[in-house]
Amino acid sequence: MKVKILVVFSVLVIALFAMSFAANTVTLNMIQVFTSPQRTHVLETIIKEFEALHPNVHINLISPPYESAYQKVYLMLSTNQPLDIVEVGDWSLEGVVQLGKMENLEPYIAKWSGAKDLIPGLLKAVRVTGGKAYIIPNGVYAKALFYRPDILAKFGITQPPATMKELYNDCLKITNPTKNQYGFDFRGTGLPTNFIDIITTSYLNDIDPSNMYKLKNGKLWFKDPRALEGLKLYLNFYKNTAPKDSINWGFDAQVNAFVAGTTPFLFQDPDTTGLLNSMLKKGQYKTAPLPVGPSGKVYPSYGFGGWGIPNYSKHKELAWEFIKFFTTPMISAYFCKEYGALPVLKSVYEDDPYFSSGVFEGWKKMFSDPQKYVFTSYPLANPAWTRWTKYQQDTMQQALLGRITLDQLTTKWYNFWKKAFGM
Amino acid sequence: MRREKKISKVLRFFFLSIYLIAAIVPLYWIFLTSVKSPHEVYAYPIVYWPKHISFESYKFLFGFANFAQYFKNSLFVSITASFLAMSFSILSGYIMARYKFRFKKFLIITLFLAQMIPAYLLMIPQYTMFSKLGMINNLWALVIVYVNIAASFSTIMARGFFSRIPRSLEEAAMIDGTSRIGAIFRVTLPLSLPGIAAIFSFSFVNTWNELFTAVLFINSNSKMTVPVALNSFISKAGIQWNVMSAGLIVALLPTIIVFAFAQRYIVAGLTQGAVKE
Amino acid sequence: MKRSKAHRNLKNFIFWMLFPTFTIVAILTYYPTIKGILLAFEDYTVFTFQNIQFVGWQNFETIFSDPNFFIALWNTVWWIALSVAFQFVLGFALALLMRKPFRGRGVYAGIVFYPWALSGFALGILWSWLLNGQFGLINDILMKLHLIHHGIDFLSNPSYAFISVIAVNVWYGIPFFAIMILAALQSIPNSLYEAAEIDGAGSVSKFFNVTLPYIKPTVVSTLLLRVIWVMNFPDIIYGMTKGGPAGSTNILATYMINIVYFESDYSKASAVGLIIISILTAYALTYLKFTSSYELGEI
């Protein structure tokens, strides 16, 4: 009998202890959408730092496989699953916000001193839905020209091309299929929107900086003869300077072909540097600004991903604490270095020598000449956007295969956006 | 006559070898990739014989990637689900094979129809159901879903196997004073072991490889199953093929063991004589 | 009185034996299916989540006005016909070759049957790597054997790509038929063959008069199920090509996934799902109409 009482008593004590302990520890659930084993490792390191500063907080990182990540985010948010910090990329931001489950971060930003350190224009770019910010960016992406000086030297090319025409001629010069040597690192699949648009729009000098698909006079440019010239060049890059197989190339295949030297010219984002640094020796690759088109301009765009907070979260303040922590110069610099993104804070560019080194040459030059390199926004708030990227890819592939003409292609695109913009 | 036999033997050997080569080349390649060092994996020209065997990818798998835990989770989910589906299907398959009753035809059709429903149609309704039960991120939720995946097909199969066993054998046992349940356990089940082994191994293979539901239902790293882990080696930056291959090799082991057991029954035809009149 | 009690007992017995299987199938397959079918008549997307409306046949109209749907539909027919036909013939042949015991048959079976034990999706991406036009193993081997001089664009030329995904699916599905048919072959009593031999039957005649009739029920039921599964099996194509290039390897199942992944339009995807179910139901009914009840009894 005594034993029984003792057991019951001790169980009660332990239970009470456990409960009081549990009450003090807060678990935050955080989901990332660009999972890779290395990225998960970087995030876990940052989480550990945060937990060390906040002993009562535990962060549970959810890392769904890359391809199905957004399906998971949608399902979790729509059924109010326990989530406190959600990562969203620019292309999916509107969709996630439209679920009606994301917290408007404007009141938080208004009280946040760190907001002033964000690079100019970034918050504006993030305010996709109704002019309100629902995420704080954790990294910025923009395309630059990557090239392989070691391979190009063999063909007597010592300077990166400054114009699209030069790039095309360089590519033609070195292409020799029998030796498996090609020029342009073509992107046929995995949503090649940026690649198509960078080359095509470089033929136009009056793109509306707030909408990649419109001219300054408000018209769509798809039926403009200059755009047709641009698309012709794009098609020729595929036909004459890239392997046939590249119609199937996504990001990973592009990187592999670049590393192998098969195609020494690549348009890519800064996150490629993280990969290339591990696969190539120092100096084997460099970056340069994107070549400009006949218009004398080129229209890159900012890509971004960032952290947001679900509006049903029970720990919004703590989640915000974490996001602020992530956006301090030290953590931001660490994340961007390890993962390979452009930092979101001005002070990081000024204080960290890594981001002014040769690897970042291309971006530095592009940021310093806004006349030539006109950073332009995509119509991300349009509900047709998610369909567009896949539609553009599929129709472009049809044109690459010669199943439709470029005229038919531009008509399809024109009709798509005419309807989507309600014009 | 003897010459003819020899020719047919040679032909048989020849064709068997073709199947073997077709199967073994990719398998050999997976294995080879798993023991290459990372820089040899993408090397061109292709490396057919690695200079030295490297177990780096296996180290990564079980160290950095916590694969042992995923393996345990998968074993738990697949064995439990296959065992339950097998038990359920023995019960219902037996009834379907032995008795006539109202709605029988209707029930059989529902089992067939269940095979026709694409998984993506069920995605949102199933997820909503389990989220209302608070069972997201719960391995038991996977068990339940997997039992459902396996049960209808298993019942169809079980019905086929049971209907081949003559009713007279059971009746003989019942005349000897055994109960109906006793007769099933002592006579019918042992005779249909090959079928039951096949049912278990089919369910095991299907649930062991199930990716779609597992990806959506499981959040915590510590509850991931093997297919989810393999899937997360695919990132924007491409696939770590050496790690992926090591994972595939390890993931193949349980299914091969299960199959080796089942095969003794399926292929060797243990039923011969006992069942046939 | 006694009779009706026995009858009631039997009824109870049947009910409880069926209970577990059919309860789980009802709750986890049929209830969500009905929900999913209702979804097909709504406008459930991430953009309309806060105000989901009943839209009637609108999703179907959108689908039927999309030329890619008809490409996918037509591809599905070829995908099923060619995959299942070759899986069946080659699987059957393998089963016949393995019927008589030989040394190492167990190990041989283990190796030849392993593709069946791998996940289709993992196999898909593995094969996309092996068939890569630039750095793929298959091209490299063919070039080493001097059969070709340039890499073949297995996956970037639309017609090769479709052949490639079917070939891989055949490779993947052979073991299934081989196992099922082999199991059936093992159950043929030797006495039947002996009797045929006494009648002076040759091996061809034995095959048509003994083997084939005996295993026909297995063949009928596995073919029926296989067609259903192959139609709903996007894994290999999704792993290899995601339905590309330019939609040339899309089947309805991958078409549906692409709608989920790239449009987040769950209602439209459900509508495709409903179309798949309708086609399969029509197929199964036709198939069963031409199959005698004896053969169905096997299933």
Does residue B15 fall inside a structural domain? Answer: no
Could you tell me the domains of chain A? 18-141+303-344 (3.40.190.10), 144-300+366-420 (3.40.190.10)
CB contact under 8 A, C14 and B110: no
CATH of the domain at B218: 1.10.3720.10
CB contact under 8 A, C273 and B114: no
Q: Which residue intervals of A28-116 are DSSP H helices?
A: 37-53, 69-78, 90-98, 106-110
Contact list in B for residue C257 (CB cut-off 8 A) is 120
**Gap from A45 CA to chain B (nearest CA, Å):** 13
Does residue B34 fall inside a structural domain? Answer: no
pLDDT of res. C218: 79
Query: Which of B130, B236, B242, B244 to mutate against chain A (most A CBs within 10 Å)?
Result: B236
Query: Which of C66, C131, C134, C267 to mutate against chain A (most A CBs within 10 Å)?
Result: C134
User: What pLDDT, in 10s, does the model give residues B62-90?
Assistant: 987 789 999 999 999 999 999 999 999 99
The pTM of this model reads 0.91
Distance CA(A248)–CA(A186), nearest Å, equals: 9
Residues C75 and C249: beta-carbon distance below 8 Å: yes
Size of interface B-C (CB pairs under 8 A): 231
- Its domain, for residue B141, covers 64-266
Distance CA(A283)–CA(A148), nearest Å, equals: 8
Does residue B243 fall inside a structural domain? Answer: yes
Does residue B126 fall inside a structural domain? Answer: yes
Q: Which chains touch A (3 or more CB pairs under 8 A)?
A: B, C
Question: CA triplet C9, C12, C18: central angle to 5 degrees?
Answer: 140
Split into its structural domains, chain B has a count of 1
Contact list in A for residue B132 (CB cut-off 8 A) is 79
ipTM: 0.90
CB contact under 8 A, B215 and A29: no
Contact list in B for residue A39 (CB cut-off 8 A) is 235
Does residue B101 fall inside a structural domain? Answer: yes
**Minimum-distance CB partner of C244 among A74, A243, A248:** A248
Distance CA(A188)–CA(A246), nearest Å, equals: 6
Percent of chain C with pLDDT over 90: 59
Report for A23-37, C41-55, C176-190: range of highest mean pLDDT: C41-55
Say if B46 is an interface residue toward chain C (CB within 8 Å).
yes
Q: Which band of pLDDT confidence, cut at 50, 70 and 90, is reported for residue A20?
A: low
Structure token digits, residue C129: 């790597």
Q: Which band of pLDDT confidence, cut at 50, 70 and 90, is reported for residue A19?
A: low
What superfamily in CATH does domain C66-297 come from? MetI-like (1.10.3720.10)
pLDDT over 50 at B113, yes or no: yes
Residues B94 and B163: beta-carbon distance below 8 Å: no
Does residue B240 fall inside a structural domain? Answer: yes
**Gap from A406 CA to chain C (nearest CA, Å):** 15
CB contact under 8 A, B232 and A64: yes
Higher pLDDT, A250 or B239: A250
Delimit the domains of chain C by residue range. Answer: 66-297
Q: For residue A68, give the chain B residue with the closest CA.
A: B215
DSSP H/E element including A208: strand A207-208
pLDDT over 60 at A3, yes or no: no
Q: Which band of pLDDT confidence, cut at 50, 70 and 90, is reported for residue A21?
A: low
Say if C155 is an interface residue toward chain A (CB within 8 Å).
yes
Distance CA(B182)–CA(B23), nearest Å, equals: 44
**Gap from A248 CA to chain C (nearest CA, Å):** 6
